[in-house]
Structure 1
């Protein structure tokens, strides 16, 4: 079974289990006080002079919408990310560019829908993939580098494999991390048994817990003396499976042995179908929070905290042990639980602290936003699908009005304001019959009240918009 098939099965089962379990838990316990309780509606600060910022973009892997205490988790404690939210803006209606790893990353690096390039049709890219982001395609890093930024990526790439594809071929001056979609946290073995930790395009040996290794590298990069602004994409694999918190060395050794043995069981070992627990997941997320706290402390020591724009987000919704109440669905689906993600923005020089925004935004918007803030234009040959939020964040303009579009095989979604057009894939949501639906997310974030019979004209309009955008993209191979 491929990772795509395996992930689809897990996503569907997680959605089903989550729907049943959470419905039974409607009497949610009172949540602990968090910075979210002190937030006020977002309002842009008065214009202030500031240099072009450094950009630290931190991406978690498979982190669910409510897996942070500031987003409502009753059992996971994330004080460092909660503090980050209290120092900037917490977005409640932020989305990933797709429902799985590599398409979302493609949408961040290109600022475009994943379906505009062949690699975006793989959901996600597997180790045998022969496609990736073409080195000639403009990226966030290549465009910023042309305008004078130093660029680095630390962590998960997952947008193509050597020898043809690499971050250092797509605009990043430096790369330290893994190419594949997942790896065992200690041995660094991918699902096909290959060692997958690289510095540039050369393997780098380090058998310590991966999250710790990435934290050290990121802190070192931030602490250097830079003579120009920098972009650092810090891509953790946490809390993606396998379910290993730091110190779980016996379970890591068992998985390593399975991977090295090969065969179907070895290929699926990283998926960890016989492992994990809510407590292990909690430890992984809390470890991620601690690591981000360490990186932010390094930023403060560097003296550049005020002039650094920090964005924290996730590449898609959560998986088996994630907490996403009240959303339905999970990773691999276009229900809210599969694509709505925690997102925090902090820039002390330009954005006031303690705010919350309910505006719908998604991954490609951050590409457009960062380029505008850095004074850089996209290439006319590769127009962006994301919309810049710079006017909203910095100049007091209204949030941009536009439609957010998603597609995965057999499934479609489009959001306009409070309304969401959605069609489920029959094999992922058989109870929904694969029919066109309309949901009022302001009233029903769980997406169970289908309003299509009450708003047939709006449903038809949103469906037509979705199909117009879809017609501009590459088609999925007919065999799919």
Structure 2
């Protein structure tokens, strides 16, 4: 593939966006016209998953194309207290480093959350330009990771702290547009590019673009005493407008046709999200915690379609590398699949077997074809998630052979990866985890 034929890539990642938070996926209380248009122009996935029910673990899988449990940092769910010790090793091949080695210009605008300075960071893992936050969440106006004057801002350009005024979602959109437009010569127009645009929206704190006064009065960044559906709607609409701004920049630069645009979320929705028809939310391996809205547009090669192909975060590295004509690293073979043949219609859709684990409530899950094995504490289930999207009819006694087979497959899969120890569990506990949400109970009866 010649350099002038290689596609540009814009990978847009939302944070804690629920399955039905976009109107194209079922949200009726507000509209997301820019993302709806993106869906109409490209592929709308109906069975796309995140690699984890929380953010940093999924980001390890996304950037490496491999199960996050291969790396110590990927065991921290999410990576919070140990970010200075257990991050993404700079020597590990990544999507941006492999593309950069192949001649791509690379940039990350937004959230990193894969380890903190001085040992870890975007510029150490393949990105040539970075503007954003290193940690998991910051206030939308003060850009602080916590409250109080002693807490520094988590806003950087490269590895240098910076100060900007404005609502963070809009700042990220403006920075992405400036980079696409080549402002100040930061993008090499002679090269194809990868732009990772990783928003923090609609992650807490619950602050919309008109809520600067609320933002500056917060006593707790987690903001358990505030937020509502109306504020959340404003946050998602702001995200939609920001995406529209970036898509318009691609159009104005004449880059629209041969630019792959991907939009997805790092995990399922949080407390104000709409996840219908699924149950569960972030931190849970029920469908609502791991099924995510996912869109792809590439006018040059992929026709508009609705795809029921099962996909997962770690598929994006092999898929995007294949689109760019770049081979994965031979010593770090992807666990994800290249979906390009299916999306281009050169191969039929196929069944997948995917695995998850999450330390809180000792959760385990396997998706194999239509069946899903799920364990939460001492409760075990078998669901047909294609027929029973709400995971209500426990089929473990109706299909005992499938139930036992998936349990064994999970054990064999799990044995390949780093174990979750008590030390890992202690470091990773956050207020997101409701430890007593699932008390042991009798298995549900079949319906």
> Do the structures match in fold with TM over 0.5?
yes
Contact 1:188 1:207 in 2 (8 A): no
Cα displacement string for residues 72-104 of structure 1 (whole angstroms, at most 9, x for unaligned residues): 011121000000000001001101110001000
Aligned ranges 1:132-151 → 2 under 5 Å: 132-151=87-106
Whether 1:77 and 2:28 are equivalent positions in the alignment is: no
**Whose helix fraction is larger, Structure 1's or Structure 2's?**
1
2:357 is paired with a residue whose SS is strand
Pairing 1:155-170 to 2, within 5 Å after superposition = 155-170=110-125
Q: Matched residues in 2 for 1:50 and 1:441: separation?
A: 43
Give the whole-Å Cα distance in 1 for the aligned partners of 2:379 and 2:117. 41
CA distance in 1, matches of 2:265, 2:326: 25
- 1:464 paired residue number: 408
- Counterpart of 2:444 in structure 1 is none
- 2:153 equivalent in structure 1: 195
SS of residue matched to 2:281: coil
Q: How many residues align?
A: 411
Deviation at 1:399, TM superposition (A): 2.7
Decide which of 97, 104, 107 is 2:58's aligned counterpart: 104
- Contact between 1:97 and 1:406, CA under 8 Å: does it hold in 2? yes
Structure 1 runs of 4+ aligned residues shifted over 6 Å read: none
Structure-1 separation of matches of 2:216 and 2:73: 33
Q: Deviations over 1:379-425 (max 9, x none)?
A: 2221211011011112520234431111111111111121111111x
Q: Is the 8 A contact 1:63 1:341 kept in 2?
A: yes
* Cα distance in 1, alignment partners of residues 30 and 387 from structure 2: 27
Worse overlay, 155-164 or 386-395? 386-395
Paired with 2:82 and 2:331, the residues of 1 have a C-alpha distance of 30
2:167 to 209, 222, 230: 209
Match of residue 442 from structure 1: 386
| SS of 1:153 mapped into structure 2 | strand
Summarize the alignment of residues 74-473 of structure 1 with structure 2, pairs less than 5 Å apart.
74-129=28-83, 130-191=85-146, 193-224=151-182, 226-255=189-218, 258=219, 269-353=220-304, 355-409=305-359, 410-424=362-376, 426=377, 434-473=378-417
Equivalent pair of 1:387/1:400 in contact (CA under 8 Å): no
Q: Distance in 2 between matches of 1:284 and 1:375?
A: 37
The answer to whether the 8 Å contact 2:13/2:263 transfers is: yes
The 2-side partners of 1:403 and 1:143 are apart by: 27
Give ranges in structure 2 of 5+ residues lacking alignment: 183-187, 426-447
RMSD: 1.4
Question: Is the CA contact 1:92–1:342 (under 8 Å) kept in the aligned structure 2?
Answer: yes
Preserved contact between residue 310 and residue 351 of structure 2 (Cα < 8 Å): no
Aligned partners of 1:229, 1:405: CA distance in 2, in Å? 34
Residue 463 (structure 1) shift: 1.3
| Aligned partner of residue 324 in structure 1, secondary structure | coil
Matched position secondary structure for 1:125? coil
CA distance in 1, matches of 2:345, 2:268: 31
Q: Scaled by the length of structure 2, what TM-score is found?
A: 0.90
User: 2 CA distance for matches of 1:97 and 1:243?
Assistant: 25
Q: Partners in 1 of 2:55 and 2:352 — Cα distance?
A: 24
Look up the SS of the partner of 1:237 in the other structure: coil
CA contact (8 A) 2:279 2:288 kept: yes
Distance 2:315 2:49 in 1: 10
- Counterpart-to-counterpart distance in 1, 2:236 and 2:380: 36
Gaps of 5+ in 1: 1-48, 259-268, 427-433
- SS of the aligned residue for 2:221 comes to helix
